[in-house]
Amino acid sequence: MYSMTGFGRAEIPGRLGRLTVEIATVNSRFLEFTVRLPKPYFSLEPRVREYLSEILSRGKVTVTVNLDEPEDATGKYAINDRAVRAYVRQLRQLHRELKLDGDINLSSLVSLPDVVQADRNAPDPERIWKTLRKGLHRAAGQLVEMRKREGRAMAADMNKRLKSMAGLLRRVERQTRDSVQVYADKLHERIESLLQRPVCDAARLEEEVALFADRTDIAEECVRLDSHLDQFAATLKAKSASGRRLNFILQEMNREVNTIGSKSADLGIAGAVISLKEEVEKLREMVQNVE
């Protein structure tokens, strides 16, 4: 079982400079991507999404790629001498004609359009992709390992809670076997107390007890809940992504627990039902982060 929370980082040297790849994931119902790439890598965003989609199935994924350019990166840029000379000629002419104050300086010239030009020899996307893919591979490896470790920890905690729920269910089953007899005895005592004489209509009393037993029969719900506990435990051992399936099973568990609570008038069973609801809610919180 894998968590949806994780982080991975890798640094890869390349022709354009040192590439740093960071991948962070948090929980989400679907697989969502936010990809931040430096300018030379913009065209590779679809490949990044496709590559990570083969590794991850759910979660909000943020990919951040930074490029630390080498010291000689300025060689990628050139000053357009012809444009500078043309600007200077025209500026001097305007300076004389309009009798303007101020001097022409270098900082003003380099900010003008087409004075500084980037290297027109664009890097080969395939060569860039090889470097980027290597960084994604290493960062994703760290990410998956972290998600796996957290998934194992969550699975261990969930198994403990399943055992606790199984114990509570056994308690409910024991108490429900006695609840009908307890109700019959209390009803018998109450009628005798009100009438101040022994109950004469035993058939009517038995009918009332039978109705109570039918209304409070939770045997079927207990069997289904027990089955859901087994399904949940089996799903925790599955090798494929299991978050959605676990969530569906929890919905069924919650339905059975609520039905048991609504049918039972016994205070002991009511206490066990509250504990069962608490465990279901804790499981639900963890399942929201399972891939």
Q: Are residues 252 and 221 in the same domain?
A: yes
What does R_g of the chain's alpha carbons equal in angstroms?
A: 36
Q: Are residues 186 and 166 in the same domain?
A: yes
pLDDT of residue 104: 74
- Are 232 and 246 members of one domain? yes
Query: For position 269, what pLDDT does the model report?
Result: 82
Q: Has residue 1 been placed in a domain?
A: no
Q: Do residues 56 and 110 share a domain?
A: no
User: Residue 3 gets which letter from DSSP?
Assistant: B
Cβ atoms within 10 Å of 79's Cβ, excluding its own = 12
In this structure, is residue 171 part of a structural domain? yes
CATH code of 58's domain: 3.30.230.10
CB-CB neighbours of 29 under 10 Å:
12
Q: What is the pLDDT, as a whole number, of residue 141? A: 96
> How many structural domains compose the chain?
3
Q: Domain limits at 191?
A: 149-287
Q: What is the DSSP string of 106-157?
A: HHHHHTSTTSEEE-SSPPPHHHHHHHHHHHHHHHHHHHHHHHHHHHHHHHHH
Residue-by-residue pLDDT tens, the chain, 291 positions: 899 999 999 999 877 778 999 999 999 989 999 999 988 788 999 999 999 999 999 999 999 999 887 665 555 667 777 888 888 888 888 777 777 777 777 777 777 777 776 655 556 788 889 999 999 999 999 999 999 999 999 999 999 999 999 999 998 888 776 655 555 555 555 655 555 555 555 565 566 555 555 555 677 888 899 999 999 999 998 877 688 899 999 999 999 999 888 877 677 788 899 999 999 999 999 999 998
Q: Tell me: do 172 and 262 sit in the same domain.
A: yes
Residues contacting residue 34 through CB under 8 Å, at least 6 positions apart: 60, 61, 62, 63
Q: What is the pLDDT of residue 92?
A: 81
Do 223 and 197 belong together in one domain? yes
Name the maximum alpha-carbon separation found in the chain: 127
Does 86 share its domain with 162?
no
- Do 216 and 246 lie in a common domain? yes
